[in-house]
Amino acid sequence: MTHHSPHIPDVEGDRLEVLYEDKKPPYGDAEAIAEANRCLYCVDAPCIKACPTAIDIPTFIRKIGTGNVKGAARTILSQNLLGKSCGQVCPVEVLCAGACVYNDWNRDPIKIGRLQRHAVETALAEDPQLFKPKAPTGKRIALVGAGPASVAAAGWLALEGHEVAIYEKKLLPGGLNTLGIAPYKMKVEEALQEITWVLSLGNIELYQGVEIVPVSGSPEEVSASALLQQYDAVFLGLGLGPDSRLKIPGEDGGGVVGATHLIERLKADPTLRFKGVDRVIVVGGGNTAVDIAHELALLGIETTMVYRGGDHEMSAYEHELASGRVDGMRVLCERSPVAVLRDNMGKVTGVRVIRTEDKKPVAGTEEDLRADLVVVAVGQSRMTEVARSFEGVELDTRGRVIVDPKTYRTGNPKVWSAGDCVNGGKEVVNAVAEAKIAVTSMHAFLMGTEKGVGA
Amino acid sequence: MADLSIDFAGIKSPNPFWLASAPPTNTGDQVMRAFDAGWGGAVWKTLGNPIVNVSSRFGGIDYGNTRMMGLNNIELITDRPLEVNLREIREVKRRYPNHAVITSLMVETKEEWKEIIQRAEEAGADGHELNFGCPHGMCERGMGSAVSSEPKVLREIASWAVEFATKPVIVKLSPNVTDIVEPGEAVLESRAHGISLINTIKSIMAIDLDRMVPLPRVGNASTNGGYCGPAVKPVALHMVGELTRHPYIAKLPISGIGGISNWRDAAEFIALGCTSVQVCTAVMHYGYRIVEDMIEGLSDFLDSKGMKSVLELRGRAAPQYKNWGELDLGYRVVADISTDKCIGCQLCYVACMDGAHQCIHLPGRTEEQARKAGHTHIPKIIPDRAVTAKGGTPGGRVPFVDEEECIGCNLCQLVCPVSGCITMKEVPSGKPSETWNDRVQRGADFVPGGLHATEIERAKRSS
């Protein structure tokens, strides 16, 4: 074990992330009260049904209105321990706010995400000890990966009195919540601050820079079998692996980079600069593609998304596409990359694309697009090796961990799993919702009870 | 976590939150659902001889986008057979022995009072509330608010109830009186065990201008109803304050009623001396679920003030309710507009210009323009500050308070849409700290500039 500390290392230097302004800055008290009083306090509310973690939204908003902000935070966090970051990063337009009854009346939906962030930030700044852990149970649980699923799971398990250890191979915990969120939504420090709060909820150790492997060969590695031996239960919050590749000529070498890798550097690597990069092509039509294209456009770089399907076929959210376009991002549909072009020095000069119809190339329609940098956002690989190193854990044909959907328990009765490694890549809020099901089942197993977790 | 449990003249309740006698306590099923939601007690919909009701029954008053700031009703007491109500009361008490079930009662004759009190007690009621408050319908038959307005009658009926009851008797007072202390003293004389107030206020909600009929409308006519809801809270607080500062009435436990919608309202009534509070309109609007915020908010508030029990809050504000003559004439506040929070709506300006003392100025005007607009006192410098709040009016200017002229009336703060933008700051007034009563005492209760007749009279007295 190299790191044994709830301490989170500071990120240093001028990271590009700091250049971005919050698109939804925190509410002041007056704004929050005015917005809260707009809420109708619906019954059987559609916003609750649209929230994967089923936060009682009208109740927490009413509590903001009555000045009971602490109670509002309790209502949020008892359903979703990462309620603060979810308030910032959730695609509320397609979840809670998208379901608000005001939409049907052509009035602005309630700004639920911003109210949620306000409530949690205000309450925790006043009193971080909103919840107290139960008496120690003597049970020990290991969590693999420190992404949103594991962090939420760790918090709930610690509140139940369990002894929890999180193993994270990176130096910064938080997974995509720390290193993958568009910087105009949430910054690294904000994500880390939330994790620090969750770690303070009970007996939680965070081991940073430690990798779980089939067979341990160095002090920075722990074997899966050792975890299964040393702990009463194991939670796999593995997330996704490195960016997938295009598998086209010219892709190897400098000037071609994976989207999540680039976002991570933009957020946390002080050495990253886009010197000499005037034009970027982003390949892909999903939310990661829109995120990086939008982020680069905001830096003043001419950025074009290239997608092989039609406009309406993109899996990216419409509101994200619209927002990116407002900030100058371009979108080129029905084009498929066939080669990355380089000059005789090997420097990237562009991408050769071919027109498509129904996502199939149309012969003889190649054209060359200029670019100094190519960003590949066509999905991420799966963490199959780590998952398979736990005996009994099985994967489906797409490399996702197979779980019982009622309990999120894997083929190994001591192992549960949730988040992107199970669902193939969804929102933070889905990871938290799944993690709650998993730890509820795990807790019942450990204690021989049917009672669930939750403050 | 602070202890919220109370003992109201012997009626024990897990918290001070009771449902008032009204539609939300009409049936056993409703009361049990309310207890499940967290309510500590319920005053049953008034029992008596069954009546006949009309349709429609409620009228509401909106203010801007706020629905039902006030509500009125012309519904009478329970329209269900007495035996059905009593059977359900018995069932509720069997299932919820630790919650308070109080029977609201309204009958006419001594014999009727004797019978209904005995039957309510047999059903398991923890106490009785004598409904001397309803200002519609029943008062025309000599019951309800008709009793509150006749202290002698009130005293007599309440004494019967005290005589017949083995459980505590609470008298519910009507606000439709000139001085609430009169019925309050009558309760004291009757030896009843507690007071609840206020019942509803006589009201006509609106007029249907097409039909030319007041609202709520029953066919081609209407009648006065009982007004309640958030809008009546100040009236209720005043009447509670009148009783809790009375040297003897204050010794009785008081159940505060009137516009209570959230924990803060409840805390205010308790701080003014109430032991329990009763809620109706907010539940009729939003359901039993509002009690969660009331319990949590009150408990957190008590914790934040270091109070271990809700009893420590009771009456904390009562001594500070005084007569005007006891207020400090040397105290002074002036308005302070936050330049960070102002959004540039200028509502404070117009309120001060037309409704107060013309001491708020719009920046960027010449002296001539300011005089033309109606200012008579022009400060030397009026800083021209741009609105900087997020979402503020582009190009907007922050109004300026001429502190020399500001009389500290609060009006600008009250009209400002941004909470926390205008605050009233204490400043030295240069005047001694003294009350009007002090001035009367030392013979300085004369302000020059009045009537000649007064001056002559005064000169005669002092010579």
Report the gap between the CA of B92 and the closest CA in chain A (Å): 26
Counted domains in chain A: 3
Burial of A265 (0-12, 13-18, 19+ CB in 10 A): middle
Cis peptide before B198 (omega within 30 of 0): yes
User: Which residues does chain A have with pLDDT short of 50?
Assistant: 1-6, 455
Contacts of A70 in chain B (CB under 8 A): 296, 300
Q: Are strands B225-228 and B201-203 parallel, antiparallel or unpaired?
A: antiparallel
Q: Does residue A17 belong to any structural domain of this protein?
A: no
Q: Is the pLDDT of residue B146 over 50?
A: yes
Tell me, what DSSP letter sits at residue A22? P
Q: Does residue A3 belong to any structural domain of this protein?
A: no
In the predicted model, what is the mean pLDDT of residues B423-436? Answer: 96
pTM of the full structure: 0.94
What span, in angstroms and rounded, lies between the C-alpha atoms of B35 and B29?
10
Report the pLDDT value the prediction gives residue A8, as an integer from 0 to 100.
57
Tell me which residue range forms the domain holding A429. 140-240+381-447
Report the gap between the CA of A50 and the closest CA in chain B (Å): 21
Let me know: does A222 contact A213? Beta carbons within 8 Å. yes
Same-domain pairing of A292 and A398 = no
For A93, B58, B60, B223, the CA distances from B211, given in Å and listed in that order, are: 45, 18, 18, 15
Measured between alpha carbons, how far apart are the two ends of chain B, in Å? 66
Please choose, from the candidates B333, B310, B318, the residue with its C-alpha nearest in 3D space to the C-alpha of residue B408. Answer: B333
Phi, psi of B226 (to 5 degrees): -105, 125
Same-domain pairing of A188 and A226 = yes
In this predicted model, what pLDDT tens digit does every residue of B346-359 receive, in sequence order? 999 999 999 999 99
Same-domain pairing of A235 and A248 = no
Contacts of B67 in chain A (CB under 8 A): none
Beta carbons within 10 angstroms of residue B16's beta carbon: 29
Cis peptide before B309 (omega within 30 of 0): no
Same-domain pairing of A371 and A271 = yes
What span, in angstroms and rounded, lies between the C-alpha atoms of A283 and A377?
6
Let me know: does B147 contact B153? Beta carbons within 8 Å. yes
In the predicted model, what is the mean pLDDT of residues B455-462? Answer: 85
Contacts of A68 in chain B (CB under 8 A): 262-263, 293, 296-297, 300
Based on its alpha-carbon atoms, the radius of gyration of chain A, rounded to whole angstroms, reads 23
In the predicted model, what is the mean pLDDT of residues B66-85? Answer: 96
Joined tokens for residue A59: 């109740």
Q: Does residue A42 belong to any structural domain of this protein?
A: yes
Let me know: does B45 contact B21? Beta carbons within 8 Å. yes
Same-domain pairing of A264 and A367 = yes
Let me know: does A233 contact A141? Beta carbons within 8 Å. yes
What span, in angstroms and rounded, lies between the C-alpha atoms of A385 and A387?
5
Burial of A378 (0-12, 13-18, 19+ CB in 10 A): buried
Report the pLDDT value the prediction gives residue A4, as an integer from 0 to 100.
38
In this predicted model, what pLDDT tens digit does every residue of A58-91 receive, in sequence order? 999 999 999 999 999 999 999 999 999 999 999 9
Q: Choose one of A319, A341, A376: the last residue of a domain.
A: A376
Same-domain pairing of A86 and A153 = no
Task: For chain B, give the number of residues.
Answer: 463
Contacts of A105 in chain B (CB under 8 A): none
* Topology, domain B6-320: TIM Barrel (3.20.20)
Report the pLDDT value the prediction gives residue B446, as an integer from 0 to 100.
87
What span, in angstroms and rounded, lies between the C-alpha atoms of A82 and A195?
9
Instruction: List the beta strands (DSSP E) in B259-323.
Output: 276-279
Same-domain pairing of A255 and A369 = yes
Q: Does residue A144 belong to any structural domain of this protein?
A: yes
Q: Does residue A305 belong to any structural domain of this protein?
A: yes
Q: Does residue A69 belong to any structural domain of this protein?
A: yes
B390 with A25: Cβ contact below 8 A: yes
B419 with A66: Cβ contact below 8 A: no
Q: Does residue A362 belong to any structural domain of this protein?
A: yes
CB-nearest to A30 from B286, B293, B418 is B418
Q: Which residue has the tokens 């602070």?
A: B2
- Within an 8 Å CB–CB cutoff, is residue B264 touching chain A? yes
Between chain A and chain B, how many beta carbons pairs sit less than 8 Å apart? 47
Let me know: does A271 contact A264? Beta carbons within 8 Å. no
* Among A residues 317-356, those touching chain B with beta carbons less than 8 Å apart: none
Same-domain pairing of A40 and A122 = yes
What span, in angstroms and rounded, lies between the C-alpha atoms of B416 and B422?
7
Phi, psi of A252 (to 5 degrees): -70, 140
Q: Choose one of A126, A151, A173: the last residue of a domain.
A: A126
Contacts of A25 in chain B (CB under 8 A): 390
Same-domain pairing of A197 and A291 = no
Q: Are strands B169-173 and B206-208 parallel, antiparallel or unpaired?
A: unpaired
Please choose, from the candidates A108, A110, A103, the residue with its C-alpha nearest in 3D space to the C-alpha of residue A40. Answer: A110
Report the gap between the CA of B16 and the closest CA in chain A (Å): 18
The CATH number covering residue A67 comes to: 1.10.1060.10
CB-nearest to A71 from B290, B293, B419 is B293
Let me know: does A429 contact A90? Beta carbons within 8 Å. yes
* Among A residues 11-40, those touching chain B with beta carbons less than 8 Å apart: 25, 28-31, 33-34
Report the gap between the CA of B142 and the closest CA in chain A (Å): 40
Indicate if the alpha-carbon torsion angle B299, B305, B307, B308 is positive or negative.
positive
B419 with A59: Cβ contact below 8 A: no
Task: Write down the number of H helices and E strands in chain B.
Answer: 15, 20
Q: Does residue A132 belong to any structural domain of this protein?
A: no
Task: Suggest the residue from B66, B296, B305, B422 to mutate for an interface test with chain A (most A CBs closer than 10 A).
Answer: B296
What span, in angstroms and rounded, lies between the C-alpha atoms of A340 and A254?
11
Same-domain pairing of A302 and A254 = yes
The CATH number covering residue A288 comes to: 3.50.50.60
- Within an 8 Å CB–CB cutoff, is residue B263 touching chain A? yes
Domain ranges for chain B: 6-320, 324-426
3-state secondary structure of A401: strand
Same-domain pairing of A210 and A282 = no
Q: What integer best gives the mean pLDDT of chain B?
A: 96
* Among A residues 49-88, those touching chain B with beta carbons less than 8 Å apart: 59, 62-63, 66-68, 70-71, 74
* Topology, domain B324-426: Alpha-Beta Plaits (3.30.70)
Q: Are strands A140-144 and A233-236 parallel, antiparallel or unpaired?
A: parallel
What span, in angstroms and rounded, lies between the C-alpha atoms of A143 and B198?
58
Q: What number is the ipTM of this complex? A: 0.93
- Residue B412 annotated to the active site: no
A62 with B293: Cβ contact below 8 A: yes
Same-domain pairing of A145 and A92 = no
Let me know: does A179 contact A267? Beta carbons within 8 Å. yes
Give the Cα-Cα-Cα angle B321, B327, B332 (nearest 5 degrees).
Answer: 120
Write the DSSP assignment of A207-259 as a string of letters.
Answer: EET-EEESS--STTEEEHHHHHHH-SEEEE---EEEEP----TT-SSTTEEEH
For B23, B45, B147, B161, B262, the CA distances from B50, given in Å and listed in that order, are: 15, 12, 19, 20, 33
Let me know: does B93 contact B68? Beta carbons within 8 Å. no
What span, in angstroms and rounded, lies between the C-alpha atoms of B182 and B205?
28
B419 with A25: Cβ contact below 8 A: no
Report the pLDDT value the prediction gives residue A153, as an integer from 0 to 100.
98
Measured between alpha carbons, how far apart are the two ends of chain A, in Å? 32
User: Which residue type does A303 have?
Assistant: T
Q: Choose one of A356, A376, A396: the last residue of a domain.
A: A376
In this predicted model, what pLDDT tens digit does every residue of B365-421 receive, in sequence order? 999 999 999 999 999 999 988 888 877 777 888 999 999 999 999 999 999 999 999
With CA atoms as reference, the chain B residue closest to A74 would be B296
Please choose, from the candidates B408, B425, B405, the residue with its C-alpha nearest in 3D space to the C-alpha of residue B329. Answer: B408
Report the pLDDT value the prediction gives residue A5, as an integer from 0 to 100.
41
The angle that helices B181-190 and B151-164 make with each other, rounded to 10 degrees, is 30
Let me know: does A157 contact A181? Beta carbons within 8 Å. no
User: Which residue type does A51 have?
Assistant: C
